[in-house]
């Protein structure tokens, strides 16, 4: 399959964002994924999220590993810089990229295989560093690109197209991230764009590590009866517990919320996320209670979705280290050494 | 035989007993007397309680490698006493702690044994078990000082510098040194027949290890991102970078840092971080050793193909596998030259000593950015962790460092369209852009098949176009990298060729062979790909002895692969027992070959 340029003819009436760009300007090359693949819907949600946030395309860095999911950065925001790395190693590349230039916005797209098996170590450590990035896992329970082997997120009892059902405990990215102290954790479904778009927007603007675990069915290898990551299964068992509305910096919160259920949280750039609790008992600011709730619902066979945990108080990687606000890559080389005279003094210590 | 400034002292101790500072003190005091010295540390892969040796070679001639003899053995470790005694060269001396009896049956009549009751003296003069052990090790410094005639004032000054504001430590250390010194003067004929004498052979020189030098070089190169996973013998490189940066890269007022050191979860992540940072235009590096290179291989190949600069320091140790982590070798030459699957090849630099570590730490970034490819600096444990006497480092503030072909916002603004992998200049090096600089600069970096325009491809011709262009770049690298060092005379038919830490032993071996009327030309290679001059050197000689520190003649193989020279000419001289190379080995092997009828 080769590179297909997509003609960018925007209808004159297409809405424009503050930069004068249309949603078209945030698209990428034509997807080469299977028709109906959940990943394409996530791509569409990313396009909308970035368009609405008025992000300058070249200030966005799209990072990925290897897999069908990891291919998708080619299919959105072609004006952004992309880095399609090696299998399971997107987090380290993003860590280094961010270390060098903290002024860019980082969106990483990964798969359940990419993040929970080969790349589990890097996934875990990016969270631990509170790397400032939006990390999306397009979770389909299988390795799509290598033709349907179970991944580590496959549920017990989930049936493959051929062979025995899975018997091993699944690794749940959400509870993993929760236990590791991730500061923004959301789960959604590729088929629920309305829920997904604001979750991605909040994730992009949150300062620190944001995880968006998206159930994104693989129509070719894991959408059959008996699969717990199929469209049908997800639609039947998924529940919104906390929805999120995204409110840009200058805007007022307009929507009328039922008393007691709405919880506005201010992000670092002044925008707000309004958490709408669908389930009154849920506390998205308490790790312990979120964990308990998630486990209980999981045991009941439910897929809990929404903005499940948020902590705006923790410092991200650079601030934890006390690094300069100026991107490292923009520091002039000449300013980075103490000169020939000082070298003489340093050498005197070795005589 | 009486000698001046030509003596080898070997000290056998147990690690974790403070002997390192005692040994450093001895070496430094000789250096301060103006006498060239070589210090080698042979230590176990262990924190406390195992045998360790330190060898000080006093070399008025200024040779750089370890010696093949031991004149004075300071046998402080009962566990290794027998083998330490066996190590002493005929006519030498052995010093031991006579507080306890030793195995008389081990005596050698060609070695003079000197007993000093070090423990007893220290027990009588110091309180506390720990202090007594530490002071016992300091006390032998006094004995050796008396035996060799080392200036006690210099030792005092060094202690004062070390313990700047802790006068009581200067006093207690000096007390221990005096105990040993006075005992030796009262009981032995001091100095011995081999002694030291102040000279003027060290001015303009420092004593430093290669890892510290490389860490300093990275700071001077303007590196901002360092990612690493601890591994012997490379760890002290990042330690040095960190300590220089905390002093010189931290805003004194705000405390803000202009460097970012990340201790990665493993080497796969360390190299991934280096690539991410370099892709964004920061000078980034990772220090590691053989096992780390194995883990990094996939990404190193990615960087080669996607053309991302990366600087890797491989401080080589003894393989294969975990091997002997605290012993030296040059055994990663092939694995680094061709790290990763597919057709890949990588630029290697071979520093010979800490001074070149400092210099190459800087030029490695220039080459990586100029050539847009990984550059691996091939140091080793001997260079990295031992103290070397080298000329002062220089830094020219007027030199503008090469950042390679990076398009500015203005250049991009003027361009119709930017394509990442076009060979615009015919040197095989495309132009690159940095994220966030200009909307026209955006492109998609990938390790999958791509066209010269940067687009994904599975088209044979478009794929081949790019990998063939990388060969053009390889030839540019060949012309760009540091030239080898040569010493050539018109009359010699044979030559010696080596890399890196092999230099000191080869230089000395040539002198010793010349004294026996065997004259060899010399080539010290400094980079891979090999320059045309290296190939010419080989072509012009009947025989070239290739001296390297591995079992499989990896440098020789690489010369055959990359320089296309006649295999019959290259005679391998292989030293791979984990100890640093010495001249005696080279001399003996050359003599053997000559005896077999090879050219000299
Ligand atoms: C080192 C390495 N091992 C194996 C592969 C083969 N491989 C490619 S994609 C993939 C699994 C991808 O699964 P996932 O991340 O879930 O992505 P999906 O295709 O399901 O979106 C594997 C095993 C590879 N590319 N690299
Ligand atoms: S194989 Fe599955 S994951 Fe891959 S593109 Fe097809 S549907 Fe999507
Ligand atoms: Mg998958």
Tell me the CATH number at B170.
Answer: 3.40.920.10
Cβ pair A318, A255 in contact under 8 A: no
Same domain membership, residue B172 and residue B116: yes
Same domain membership, residue B468 and residue B380: no
**What does the alpha-carbon distance between residue B159 and residue B395 come to, in Å, rounded to a whole number?**
30
For residue B522, the 8-state DSSP code is: E
Q: What is the DSSP string of A43-97?
A: HHHHHHHHHHTT--GGGEEEEE-SSHHHHGGGGB-TTSEEEE-STT-HHHHHHHH
B543 domain-assigned: yes
Cα distances (Å, whole numbers) of residue B141 to B157, B173, B188, B229: 14, 10, 15, 37
Beta strands in B463-594 (DSSP E): 485-487, 494-499, 521-525, 527-528, 543-548, 570-574
User: Which of A20, A91, A99 is the best residue to mutate to test the B interface, defined by the most B CB atoms within 10 Å of its own CB?
Assistant: A99
- 3-state secondary structure at position B543: strand
**What does the alpha-carbon distance between residue B58 and residue B6 come to, in Å, rounded to a whole number?**
5
In this complex, the residue of A322, A325, A347 whose CB is nearest that of residue B392 is A347
Q: Which residues from chain A sit within 8 angstroms of residue B398, using beta carbons? A: none
Chain centre to alpha carbon of residue A19: 24
At residue B251, the pLDDT reads 96
For residue B243, how many other CB atoms are within 10 A of its CB?
15
- 3-state secondary structure at position B5: coil
At residue A45, the pLDDT reads 98
Choice among A64-68, A77-81, A236-240, B195-199 with the minimum mean pLDDT: A236-240
At residue A3, the pLDDT reads 44
At residue B451, the pLDDT reads 98
Spell out the domains of chain A, with CATH numbers in brackets.
23-320 (3.40.50.970)
B168 domain-assigned: yes
Same domain membership, residue B344 and residue B223: yes
Cβ pair B457, A5 in contact under 8 A: no
Choice among A41-55, A206-220, A258-272 with the minimum mean pLDDT: A258-272
Cβ pair B29, B23 in contact under 8 A: no
In this complex, the residue of B32, B206, B401 whose CB is nearest that of residue A347 is B206
Question: Which of B452, B480, B508 is at the close of a domain?
Answer: B480
Ligand 3 centroid to A92 CA: how many Å? Answer: 20
Could you tell me the residue range of the domain that residue B550 belongs to? 485-595
B331 domain-assigned: yes
Ligand 2, residues A75, A149, A221: which to mutate, most atoms within 8 A of Cβ? A221
Domain count along chain B: 4
Same domain membership, residue B474 and residue B498: no
B22 domain-assigned: yes
Question: Which of B436, B458, B480 is at the close of a domain?
Answer: B480
Distance to chain A for B218, nearest Cα, Å: 9
Ligand 3 centroid to A290 CA: how many Å? Answer: 25
Residue segments in chain B with a per-residue pLDDT below the cut of 70? 1
Q: What share of chain A in percent tops pLDDT 70?
A: 96
Beta bridge partners of B209: B387
Same domain membership, residue B491 and residue B476: no
Same domain membership, residue B474 and residue B416: yes
First-last CA distance in chain B? 31
Cα distances (Å, whole numbers) of residue B576 to B63, B161, B585: 21, 39, 11
CA-based angle B106:B111:B115, to the nearest 5?
75
Same domain membership, residue B226 and residue B187: no
Write b or e for each residue in B99-124: b if 16 or more Cβ atoms lie within 10 A of its Cβ, otherwise e: eeebeeeeeeeebebbbbbbbebbee
Same domain membership, residue B20 and residue B151: yes
Beta strands in A192-326 (DSSP E): 209-215, 238-247, 262-266, 272-277, 303-310
Chain segment B30-87, per-residue pLDDT in tens: 999 999 999 999 988 888 889 999 999 999 999 999 999 999 999 999 999 999 999 9
**Is the minimum distance from the CB of A227 to ligand 2 under 6 angstroms?**
no
**What does the alpha-carbon distance between residue B328 and residue B515 come to, in Å, rounded to a whole number?**
29
B399 domain-assigned: no
Same domain membership, residue B231 and residue B321: yes
Chain segment A270-287, per-residue pLDDT in tens: 888 888 888 888 999 999
Place of tokens 């060969």: B471
B174 domain-assigned: yes
Q: What share of chain A in percent tops pLDDT 90?
A: 84
B403 domain-assigned: no
CB contact under 8 Å between B208 and A350, yes or no, is yes
Same domain membership, residue B194 and residue B70: yes
Burial of residue A147, with CB atoms counted within 10 A of its CB: 0-12 exposed, 13-18 middle, 19 or more buried: exposed
Question: Which of B167, B200, B233 is at the close of a domain?
Answer: B200
CB of B302 less than 8 A from some CB of A: yes
B61 domain-assigned: yes
């Amino acid at each position: 399959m080769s590179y297909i340029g997509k003609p960018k003819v925007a209808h004159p009436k297409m809405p424009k964002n503050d930069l004068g760009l249309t949603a078209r300007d945030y698209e990428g090359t034509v997807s080469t994924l299977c028709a109906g693949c959940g990943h394409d819907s996530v791509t569409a949600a990313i396009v909308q999220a970035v368009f609405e946030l008025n992000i300058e395309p070249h200030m966005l860095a799209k990072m990925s590993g290897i897999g069908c999911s990891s291919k998708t950065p080619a299919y959105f925001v072609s004006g952004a810089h992309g880095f399609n790395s090696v299998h399971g190693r997107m987090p380290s590349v993003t860590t280094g990229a961010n270390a060098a230039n903290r002024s860019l916005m980082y969106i990483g797209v990964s798969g359940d295989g990419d993040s929970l098996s080969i790349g589990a170590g890097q996934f875990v450590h990016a969270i631990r560093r509170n790397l400032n990035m939006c990390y999306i896992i397009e979770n389909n329970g299988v390795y799509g690109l290598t033709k349907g082997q179970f991944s580590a997120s496959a549920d017990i009892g989930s049936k493959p197209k051929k062979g025995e059902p899975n018997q091993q405990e699944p690794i749940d990215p959400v509870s993993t991230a929760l236990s590791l102290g991730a500061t923004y954790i959301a789960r959604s479904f590729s088929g629920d764009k309305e829920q997904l778009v604001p979750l991605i927007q909040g994730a992009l603007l949150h300062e620190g590590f944001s995880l968006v675990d998206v159930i994104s069915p693989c129509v070719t290898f894991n959408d059959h009866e008996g699969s717990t990551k199929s469209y049908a299964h997800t639609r039947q068992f998924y529940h919104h517990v906390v929805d999120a509305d995204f409110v840009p910096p200058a805007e007022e919160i307009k929507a009328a919320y039922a008393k007691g259920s709405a919880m506005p949280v201010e992000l670092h750039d002044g925008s707000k996320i309004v958490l709408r609790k669908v389930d009154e008992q849920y506390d998205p600011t308490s790790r312990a209670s979120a964990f308990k709730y998630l486990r209980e619902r999981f045991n009941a066979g439910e897929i809990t979705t929404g903005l499940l945990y948020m902590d705006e108080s923790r410092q991200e990687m650079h601030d934890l280290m006390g690094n300069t606000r100026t991107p490292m890559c923009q520091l002039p080389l000449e300013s980075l050494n103490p000169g020939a005279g000082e070298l003489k003094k340093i050498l005197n210590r070795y005589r | 035989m009486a000698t001046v400034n030509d003596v080898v002292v070997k000290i056998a101790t147990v690690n974790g007993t403070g002997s390192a500072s005692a040994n450093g003190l001895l070496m430094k005091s000789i250096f301060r007397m103006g006498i060239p010295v070589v210090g080698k540390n042979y230590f176990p892969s262990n924190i406390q309680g195992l045998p360790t040796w330190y060898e000080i070679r006093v070399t008025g001639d200024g040779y750089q490698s370890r010696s093949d003899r031991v004149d004075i053995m300071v046998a402080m470790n009962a566990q290794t006493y027998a083998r330490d005694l066996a190590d002493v060269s005929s006519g030498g001396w052995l010093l031991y702690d006579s507080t306890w009896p030793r195995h008389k049956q081990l005596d050698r009549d060609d070695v003079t044994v000197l007993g000093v009751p070090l423990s007893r003296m220290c027990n009588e003069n110091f309180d506390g078990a720990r202090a007594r052990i530490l002071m016992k090790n300091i006390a032998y410094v006094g004995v050796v000082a008396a035996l060799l005639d080392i200036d006690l004032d210099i030792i005092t000054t060094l202690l004062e510098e070390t313990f700047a504001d802790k006068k009581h430590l200067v006093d207690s250390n000096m007390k221990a040194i005096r105990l040993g010194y006075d005992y030796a003067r009262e009981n032995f004929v001091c100095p011995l027949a081999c002694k030291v004498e102040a000279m003027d052979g060290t001015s303009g020189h420092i004593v430093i290890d290669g890892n510290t030098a490389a860490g300093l070089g990275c700071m001077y190169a303007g590196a901002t991102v360092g990612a690493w996973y601890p591994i012997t013998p490379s760890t002290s490189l990042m330690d040095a970078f960190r300590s220089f940066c905390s002093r010189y890269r931290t805003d004194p007022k705000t405390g803000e840092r202009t460097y970012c050191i990340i201790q990665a979860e493993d080497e796969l992540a360390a190299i991934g971080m280096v690539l991410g940072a370099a892709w964004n235009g920061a000078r980034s590096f990772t220090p590691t050793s053989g096992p780390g290179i194995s883990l990094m291989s996939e990404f190193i190949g990615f960087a080669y193909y996607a053309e991302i600069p990366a600087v890797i320091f491989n401080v080589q140790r003894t393989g294969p596998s975990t091997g002997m982590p605290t012993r030296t070798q040059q055994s990663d030459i092939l694995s680094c030259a061709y790290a990763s699957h597919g057709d890949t090849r990588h630029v290697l630099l071979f520093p010979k000593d800490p001074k070149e570590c400092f210099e190459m730490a800087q030029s490695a970034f220039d080459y990586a950015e100029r050539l847009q490819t990984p550059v691996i600096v091939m140091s080793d444990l001997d260079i990295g962790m031992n103290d070397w006497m080298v000329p002062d480092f220089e830094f020219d503030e007027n030199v503008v460092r090469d950042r390679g072909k990076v398009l500015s916002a203005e250049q991009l603004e003027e361009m119709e369209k930017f394509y990442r992998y076009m060979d615009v200049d015919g040197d095989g090096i495309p132009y690159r852009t940095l994220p966030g600089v200009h909307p026209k600069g955006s492109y998609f970096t990938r390790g999958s098949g791509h066209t010269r325009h940067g687009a994904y491809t599975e088209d044979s011709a478009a794929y081949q176009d790019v990998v063939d262009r990388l060969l053009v770049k390889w030839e540019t690298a060949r012309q760009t990298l540091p030239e080898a060092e040569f010493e050539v005379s018109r009359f010699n038919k044979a030559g010696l060729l080596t890399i890196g830490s092999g230099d000191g032993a080869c230089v000395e071996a040539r002198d010793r062979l010349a004294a026996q009327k065997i004259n060899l030309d010399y080539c010290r290679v400094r980079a891979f790909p090999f320059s045309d001059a290296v190939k010419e050197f080989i072509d012009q000689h009947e025989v070239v002895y290739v001296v390297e520190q591995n079992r499989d003649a990896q440098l020789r193989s690489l010369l055959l692969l990359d320089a296309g020279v006649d295999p019959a000419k290259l005679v391998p001289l292989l030293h791979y027992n984990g100890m640093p190379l010495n001249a005696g080995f080279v001399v003996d092997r050359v003599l053997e070959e000559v005896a077999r009828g090879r050219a000299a």
